[in-house]
Amino acid sequence: MSSIHNDNTGPEQNPNQELPPDPVHVLHRAAMREMQEPRDGIAPTPVSYILLCFAAVLWGGWYIGMYGGTWSADGLAEKALAGGAITAPAQNPMELGKEVYGVCMNCHQDHGKGVPENYPPLAGSEYVLGDKRRLAALVLRGLSGDLTVLGKHYNSQMPAWDNRDDEEIAAVLTYIRNSFGNKADPISKEFVAAVRKETEGKGEWRPATLDAFAASSAPAPAAPSAAPPTAATPQAQPK
């Protein structure tokens, strides 16, 4: 009895108390003695944890290598992921056009119907759907005066948009020709560049001067009748 007593150092142990000779108690005594007490101090990290961390880091590296693209910002562009060349992203003209239209919207409104008496409609407008050269010229250089659109008179001022580049102008023109129920062929930035060059130095149009310009033939390669000295635009002819 006393040997069992000495061996046990468990917290419940009261050395002053004699154990009753209860066999159940004696049985548990053995179990209590052999149970390990929690220990104080630092235990070494299990090797399996260390291996797990290594595996996670390796997998992460592999994943980034496989799917991360390059580390440049371009590497994350959709185009690069799609396998395209990483050059200036050629934006969809309708999307870019919609973006640029944000500035036109103030006057012509998001529905393109304008504001009666003040801002003419783009929806169904003969200026939008008609002669492309006239359209590009008026948007590039601005327009003011008594204008008739869809049988209604307007007499106000349309600012010039020549601070926008050819791609933006081409996109917004393509956009207004294919929105608000309009349907017409797109306008290329080469076309805009040609009209920009042709109208260089021309101030804001009046409806009459715009009509005269529209009536004059474009400086087409095979048009010797119109003899503008500077108008030898070589390549970019409207299709």
Q: Does 72 bind ligand HEC (CB under 6 A)?
A: no
The residues in 103-122 that bind ligand HEC, with binding defined as CB under 6 A, are 103-104, 106-108, 119-122
* Binding-site member from 69, 159, 186, 219 for ligand HEC (CB under 6 A): 159
> Nearest to residue 100, comparing CAs of 197, 174, 181, 159?
174
Q: Does 154 bind ligand HEC (CB under 6 A)?
A: yes
**Shortest CB 238 distance to ligand HEC, Å:** 17
Q: How far apart are CA 196 and CA 190, in angstroms?
A: 10
Decide the pairing of beta strands 143-149 and 152-158: antiparallel
**Shortest CB 218 distance to ligand HEC, Å:** 18
Q: Does 156 bind ligand HEC (CB under 6 A)?
A: yes
Q: Does 187 bind ligand HEC (CB under 6 A)?
A: no
Q: Does 237 bind ligand HEC (CB under 6 A)?
A: no
| Tokens representing residue 30 in the block | 């053995």
**Shortest CB 118 distance to ligand HEC, Å:** 7
x-marked contacts with ligand HEC along 162-181 as a string, rule CB under 6 A: ----------x---x-----
**Shortest CB 150 distance to ligand HEC, Å:** 8
> Nearest to residue 205, comparing CAs of 124, 123, 146, 132?
146
- By beta-carbon distance, which residue lies closest to ligand HEC? 104
| Tokens representing residue 50 in the block | 């260390």
Helix, strand and coil in the chain, % to nearest 5? 45, 5, 50
Q: DSSP string of 74-137? A: GGGSHHHHTT---SS----HHHHHHHHHHHHHHHH-TTS--BTTTB---TT-HHHHS-HHHHHH
| Tokens representing residue 75 in the block | 């590497």
Q: How many residues bind ligand HEC (CB under 6 A)?
A: 29
Residues that bind ligand HEC (CB under 6 A): 103-104, 106-108, 119-122, 125, 127-128, 135, 138-139, 143-145, 147, 149, 154-159, 161, 172, 176
